[in-house]
Chains A and B, each alone.
Chain A
Amino acid sequence: MPPLAEEVEPKENAAFRREVRTWMEANRPPDPGFKLPQSFLEVESDRQFEFLRDWQRKIYEAGYLGLDWPAEYGGRGDPLKRQRIVSQEMARAGVPFLVNVIGLQWAGPTILVHGTEEQKRRFLKPILSAEEIWCQGFSEPGAGSDLASVQTRAERTASGWEVTGHKVWTTLAHQSKWMILLARTDPQAGKYEGLSYFLFPMDAPGVTVQPLIKMTGEGGFNQVIFDRAPMSEEALLGRLGQGWQIAMTTLLFERGASEGSGGGQATASAESLRRVADLAGRARRDGRLAAEDPVLRDRLVQLWITEEALRLGSLRARIPALVAERPQALRMMNKLVYSEFNQQLAELACEILGPETNLWLGDPRAMDRAEWPRAYMNSFGMTIGGGTSEIQRNIVGERVLGLPKSK
């Protein structure tokens, strides 16, 4: 399949793209000889983590991260488009992902919006250099889709705050220096008004990180238990009681509003589609290549059409007259469509593999190291995390279409 077309771009961007492309080819890290994670959701071992951290640092030092962040905080003050070019070229080159995704994509942009000058100077640059890794403390055992029912408490002390509670699905918690933490500061106040947003130091006493094992059998996912864990006065982001509003800012970034700001775009659908098309040309089933099966061909093209619609939609979204019916629709539906698309693509890859899909991690005969069934299972991280697809439909229905709230 031919290379993907990009939009016709101005000369200076095209030149920058060529520069990045050349750099990625020249600096692609060698195969480490051990299994690398497919995404930031499953960084298990120290050696995996260090490999990925070194890679991010190298990209930052080459000047390809934080392009759109202000220069005084370690960025370069360039247009966001330049950072997108880097993300696209990383996907194209098939190089490892950026391990500090939560810092780059969620925490960093939130601090840029809500942080004090001091917080911006303190936190942003080490996010880019991967010196300080971030995790997210939002979900709890009793607060998943209904995030505002968070019970973890932050109580005033003489010198700051003390946290007690239980967070789950805490990706990268064991490698993190910091956590963006949503906690209840006023149990008497309303469900939303009683919440505040903190930048919590993971090395505080009273913090226990326990691994959770995902359905793939892999770790990287954790729960964090806080037992009167202290943090300073300065840990508060924004105002007291503003936690829900700031958490919504983070979720917007998490769901793709920032379109890869800082450099945190996790994956690239177009690359995956090309790779599944390539897989169909290698995998044999029913006595022929999967690429010769009319049903599989049809389904692959359905996904190709969706993938092109997503890519072209990001261009269309920038022209207000072409989104006049519902100016927020494309942005608000992005997470839903993108995560469901990835899941369908991974599932289709498993079907294309036929019986080969039944060989699992560790079997040397597994095609592409069992990447495809593993990707299918991992895809649920995206359709559930950051607000399930069902919650996304509620949000789009209520905020974009003005449908009445679901009780």
Chain B
Amino acid sequence: MYPQLPVDFGFTEEHELLRQSVRRFLEERCPFSEVRRLAADPLGYEPGLWKEMATLGWIGLTLSEQSGGAGLGQLHLALVLDEMGRRLLPGPFLASVLAGFALEAAGSDAQRRRFCAPIAAGELLATLALGEPGASWEPEHVAATAEPVEGGWVLRGLKTGVLSAASAGLVIAPFVTPDGTPALFAVELPATGVAVEPEIGIDPTRRTARVAFDGARVGREACLEGPGLEGLRASFRRGYVALAAEMVGGTEAVLELTRRYAIERKQFDRQIGSFQAVKHPIVDTMVGLELARTHALAAAVALDQGAAEAEVAARMAKAIASDVYPTAVRRGVQLHGGYGFTWDCDVHFYFKRALWSRATLGDGAHHRRHLASRLLDDPTPA
């Protein structure tokens, strides 16, 4: 049912070194003052920092080596995203990672060579458009269409909440082909018939846009050659796990902010953390966080091991993170009292990130619905 995992989780010295270097780098380069500055910045990220991350090999972390990436696994990525989630690093990292998933899953060798190396080098900013209005976050429910024409395709449909699209030079998106199955297309921007309209998002540390394909003509080579449905499914699966890892990192940061405030703040001549009405919800946040972190790590390992039931693991990771992070930020604002309600208190940035992340790539209820089918309707042994 649940995938088999190696007892040591496949964790190595190399994983630890990566985590430490990301942690040190972000501590130095992404203090909260920088997050606040970028939240108000028109571009929303720091191109210099982005370049440095490319030099360090992080942007192409999970891209295969022959595509110009570092060829590392989902567990490596989970550790990196956990650190980024803690610092609320603004920028196109998640967009780029998601686009990489799609290229790896469905791109031909030539397509990967063409796009992946510039992505890894930080020269081409790519994103993956998975949302549509009323989105279901399932590959079966893509509404946008691709119509074959002489020499290529005509794309129609609206993609919403597309990460970093306004800065992107490449958008990858699924479109349903006439045989009823989705195919993934890689469209270089700007392009005629493709309108990118920035959204004013709830989370100022993320930038999203709607991308409207209004009869956009693309060449044959724009269609990723691998199987669209399977490629899309794999991209979703890896996306659930990637976002869950980042959410776990955010929860960790909120727990720490709340914990520290409960120790520092005094009322009635006592530290407020000595009141059980304050202490117990903080403990409950920690408990939820530990359970969510276990799932985020285990799901990453399941993907790395190619476990048959990796989908169960991936959905569990996103489902529990989607409950735990929003609960942690709700308690975080509340337990900071009047200060928690202000712009000055950092917690609201996490609050908004948590809301955005829960609603993206399927929330808890969404994934539990799919898991329930696996538990109750499909009793074949894994």
Contact = CB atoms under 8 A, between A and B. Distances in A.
A7 B11 contact: no
Contacts of B3: 5
Given A6-B4, A403-B274, A397 B280 contact: yes
Interface in A1-27: 1-9
A402 B294 contact: no
A301 B371 contact: yes
Given A301-B368, A329-B290, A8 B6 contact: yes
Interface in B324-382: 365, 368-369, 371-372, 375-377, 379-382
Interface string B267-287: 000110111100110111011
A322 B10 CA distance: 11
Contacts of A321: 11, 15-16
Contacts of A8: 4-7
B243 to A, nearest CB: 16
A44 to B, nearest CB: 35
A9 B16 CA distance: 24
A325 interface: yes
A309 B291 contact: yes
Contacts of A183: none
Nearest to A400: B286
B294 A312 contact: yes
A1 B372 contact: no
Tell me if A's interface is mostly helix, strand, loop or mixed: helix
A398 B280 CA distance: 10
Contact of B271 (A300, A306, A322, A404): A404
Given A319-B11, A394-B279, A308 B259 contact: no
Contacts of A195: none
B246 interface: no
Contacts of A394: 276, 279
B303 interface: no
A205 interface: no
Nearest to A336: B287
Contacts of B376: 1, 277, 280-281, 291, 297, 300
Contact of B283 (A1, A277, A302, A393): A393
A313 B291 CA distance: 7
A153 B13 CA distance: 54
A337 interface: yes
Contacts of B283: 333, 393, 396-397, 401
Contact of B275 (A281, A336, A406): A406
Contacts of A301: 319, 368, 371-372, 375
Contact of A316 (B9, B279, B320, B377): B9
B320 to A, nearest CB: 5
Contact of A309 (B1, B4, B295): B295
Given A5-B3, A313-B291, 11 more contacts: A1-B379, A5-B1, A298-B365, A305-B291, A309-B291, A312-B295, A333-B287, A394-B276, A400-B286, A403-B273, A405-B274
Interface of A: 1-9, 277, 280-281, 291, 294, 297-298, 300-302, 304-306, 308-313, 315-316, 318-319, 321-322, 325-326, 329-330, 333, 336-337, 390, 393-394, 396-398, 400-407
